[in-house]
Structure 1
Amino acid sequence: MLPLADKLRPKKIEDMVGQRHIIGKGKVLNKIIENKSIPNMILYGPPGTGKTTLANIVANTTGKKYVKLNAVNCGVKEIKEIIDENKRDLFSYNGIVLMLDEIQALNKKQQQSLLEVIEDGSVTLIASTADNPYFVIYKAILSRSSIFEFKQINQEDIIIGLKRAIDKLRENHSYDNINIEDEALEFIAQTCNGDMRSALNKLELAFNTGIDIGSNSVNITIDTIIECSSSKILSYDRGGDDGYSILSAFHKSLRGSDVDASIHYLARLIKAGDIQNITRRLLCVASEDVGLAVPQAITITEACVQSAFQLGLPEARIPLAQATIYLAQCPKSDSVVSAIDKALYDLDNINVGDIPIHLKDAHYAGAKNLGRGVDYKYPHDYPNNYIKQQYLPDEIKHKKYYIPGKNKNEMAFDNYWENIKRNK
């Protein structure tokens, strides 16, 4: 028996919900379907957002032979064999549309082989993947394809899709009444993670649970939905686009001093159990984005990190949240990362010259004969433990790598040294 999501799969683009940025009136995919001129396409986005549905709609408008395969279950050999079989029917069709789900399951060599069947134009490829295509798809295929990104479906569109499904259920079942609370629909929309298929599966389970044989009716309340719901599954792949995006949002929220956003993305990472990447980001932010504005930030963050590893989840969430809130609220300065990156850039791009001879190692017999360390002045022999002398090589002696941040701590040190050096 087909799941409700498959029974209700839209046959026309107008019946799809979500993805207005690419399938709305006048948008690119709508025009492609109207013109029936189909390029090779990569459909990329989270599960349950309409990739397979759109591929079916596109293929059915072309008049071409439609072949649908899943790369998880077959290799290039099987793909070629199936295409060769279907090429016998080409006299009645205008080519072949190959719908290939989960293209990322093919390795690089297999994807290279796939080029052969799309190169001559007799086969049009429509591939789908939940992974970032720039990470998982061979460049030669990308260069021959148009890439369309599908986004999570918003709650309003999920509710529209659910209401259409309920209308269909009323048409196809002989129950006297099918009643569903608006709050139940809203709860499904809030917990399906932008996945229409997941929303329809939740609705179907609640429908079967809410059947009242005695009154020949179906009653679905929010309690019915909660009873049927498992924990919400967040989209997170440590090595994929979703994982990197959540980590990026976490880091940028910390850098931007948004405590609430930082805690939100931390919660996502904790839900995925990714302590390793959380701690790496926290330690990085402590030096890269807080740095010398609050020098003790790295020490406090390290203490929280060590506590998290010792405690393990779920208790680790507490010191991780402590470090997150602390770093988000700290004054910010990127003077540390800016200084080291400028110095590294110069090493790669300009002649930085030799170390001044008075700074070179002089702890060996004969060093003085070579002039090593002879003119070095020991700062602790002078007032305020400072004496002016050249430390940078001649070629870059006027370079300034460290620019103090405009914060209380760095400005205090800067003023201190400015006074010392001015009086020399």
Structure 2
Amino acid sequence: MEPDLFTAAAEDRQEKDPSSSPLAVRMRPRTLDEVVGQQHLLKPGSPLRRLVGEGSGGPAGPSSVILWGPPGIGKTTLAYVVSKATNKRFVELSAITAGVKEVRAVIEGARRATGGYGKETVLFLDEIHRFSKAQQDSLLPAVENRWVTLIAATTENPYFSIISPLLSRSLLLTLESLTDEDLRALMHRALADERGLGGAVTLPEDAEAHLLRIAGGDARRALTALEAAAGAALAMQEKEITLQTVEATVDRAAVKYDRDGDQHYDVASALIKSIRGSDVDAALHYLARMIEAGEDPRFIARRLMISASEDIGLADPTALPTAVAAAQAVAMIGFPEAALTLSHATIALALAPKSNAATLAIFAAQEDVRKGLAGPVPAHLRDGHYKGAAALGHAQGYVYPHDVPGGIAAQQYAPDAVRDRHYYRPTRYGAEARYADVVDRVRERLGRGDSDGAADA
């Protein structure tokens, strides 16, 4: 049986009995004007509007589109809207469960549909980054010959996860995360619209705020939670969805946390101070509060990167690479899976040996510079690569450290004003103990073993 017959049957059922479909499906936009968010893609004359034939007399541009963005922001919705606006069959496949065999079956069905009754096909392929190179190659003939309009969705960087021939033949659209205002507008529409809840219930501000936190920028999650809470309220013959009903329905307590207020900074501060204090359990508690409150995972990752240098430094040289890797992973995967990466990094930082020596070192050096302790760069360290440098004495007498046994040349590097300053004061904690021994030997070799102690302050 043709895949489009299943799609048509599902749409018929939805039209005859809308309540049989989930709220997120019932509220799926039918036109680009109904799409919430992604305004950068929806401006008049944009590639997406030209794709559906607006303002150009008919569809134009590539027959393949790649939608890149985090989960739950409308990639499936946009594909569906394109198919409706262009009056094409809509066939959906997931790269998680489908393979080349299923793709070829859809393409063959599309060719028959086009030749048999003139109905073109939109193939929406979700999670395309999960396809191997060979599987993605199987799509090329259909794209090149326009047998289907391919709309592929990915949560991973397409320049790394999609083959170049397919990428070069596609219109790449980057989707942005939905804001709270976007989700609020979506829920208000679902509450009032006859396709949705038709005004059967109301949603007070505290319950709405909790639903927004639960959603975490995911439209599907927001509407699913709203539908469950509304169902529970109506079952109790209540016209208002209370905070208690939302909590009971989604089994998640409201977190007292204002992302724009004091709680935002208080909890973030407590997370970092718990890591600094090596209390891994307290750190995980505050991390969980931030996650459950819908905090931007990138904000958390940035704080962890700062902590890795500020509070750990060279006591554990792997701390910063761990935090940076976590930030990169979070940017690529988003919630909910990003919680695992943030937990990984938080535990590693909390249990790492601590040192603020790197922090104090740069603070002390900056303080001296602000006081005017600078002075000219020693002549033998100046640039000697231009004509006339030798006549000025620049780079003359410089000793190349690699030519010296041990690789340390006993010459002056710092300006006279700070030549005896010792900014870096390594601790004896963790791996930094090794650096402490190295620093002592190097300073002695350079003739800088004694310090006036001024930089200690």
Is the structural similarity TM-score above 0.5? yes
1:9 matched to 2:28? The reply is yes
Could you tell me which amino acid in structure 2 is paired with residue 204 of structure 1? E
Alignment of 1:330-341 (within 5 A): 330-331=359-360
Deviation at 1:45, TM superposition (A): 1.4
- Unaligned runs of 5+ residues in structure 2 are 1-19, 254-267, 276-282, 292-299, 322-341, 363-397, 426-438, 450-457
Q: 2:72 aligns with which of 44, 48, 68?
A: 48
Aligned to 1:222: 243
SS of 1:148 mapped into structure 2: strand
Q: 1:127 aligns with which of 149, 152, 156?
A: 152
Q: Taking structure 1 as reference, are residues 410 and 317 closer, same or farther at Cα in structure 2, changes over 3 Å only?
A: closer
Aligned to 2:121: 96
CA distance, structure 2, for counterparts of residue 56 and residue 142 of structure 1: 21
Aligned to 1:320: 349
Determine what percentage of the aligned residue pairs are the same residue: 30
Q: Taking structure 1 as reference, are residues 261 and 23 closer, same or farther at Cα in structure 2, changes over 3 Å only?
A: farther
Aligned to 1:246: none
Q: 1:392 aligns with which of 386, 395, 402?
A: 402
Q: Taking structure 1 as reference, are residues 182 and 125 closer, same or farther at Cα in structure 2, changes over 3 Å only?
A: same
CA distance, structure 1, for counterparts of residue 130 and residue 344 of structure 2: 37
Give aligned pairs, total.
Answer: 316
Deviation at 1:228, TM superposition (A): 2.1
SS of 1:82 mapped into structure 2: helix
Could you tell me which amino acid in structure 2 is paired with residue 228 of structure 1? T
Could you tell me which amino acid in structure 2 is paired with residue 165 of structure 1? A
Deviation at 1:136, TM superposition (A): 2.1
Deviation at 1:160, TM superposition (A): 0.6
SS of 1:135 mapped into structure 2: helix
CA distance, structure 1, for counterparts of residue 176 and residue 86 of structure 2: 25
Aligned to 2:90: 66
The answer as to whether partners of 1:38 and 1:124 remain within 8 angstroms in 2 is no
CA distance, structure 1, for counterparts of residue 98 and residue 79 of structure 2: 19
Could you tell me which amino acid in structure 2 is paired with residue 218 of structure 1? K
The answer as to whether partners of 2:202 and 2:241 remain within 8 angstroms in 1 is yes
Aligned to 1:409: 423
CA distance, structure 1, for counterparts of residue 128 and residue 82 of structure 2: 18
Alignment of 1:3-402 (within 5 A): 3-33=22-52, 34=54, 35=56, 36-39=59-62, 40-91=64-115, 92-93=117-118, 95-168=120-193, 178-212=201-235, 216-230=237-251, 297-299=313-315, 320-321=349-350, 330-331=359-360, 391-393=401-403
Deviation at 1:150, TM superposition (A): 1.6
CA distance, structure 1, for counterparts of residue 414 and residue 251 of structure 2: 52
1:39-78, CA deviations, whole angstroms, 9 ceiling, x for partnerless residues? 2111111221010111111122224443332222321122
Deviation at 1:187, TM superposition (A): 1.6
Could you tell me which amino acid in structure 2 is paired with residue 139 of structure 1? S
Could you tell me which amino acid in structure 1 is paired with residue 77 of structure 2? T
- Unaligned runs of 5+ residues in structure 1 are 233-257, 273-277, 306-312, 334-387
SS of 2:156 mapped into structure 1: coil
CA distance, structure 2, for counterparts of residue 269 and residue 124 of structure 1: 46
Deviation at 1:323, TM superposition (A): 6.0
CA distance, structure 1, for counterparts of residue 85 and residue 29 of structure 2: 14
CA distance, structure 2, for counterparts of residue 270 and residue 49 of structure 1: 24
1:258-281, CA deviations, whole angstroms, 9 ceiling, x for partnerless residues? 979978998699669xxxxx9xx9
Could you tell me which amino acid in structure 2 is paired with residue 187 of structure 1? H
TM-score, structure 1 as length reference: 0.59
CA distance, structure 1, for counterparts of residue 423 and residue 345 of structure 2: 31
The answer as to whether partners of 1:212 and 1:219 remain within 8 angstroms in 2 is no
SS of 1:127 mapped into structure 2: strand
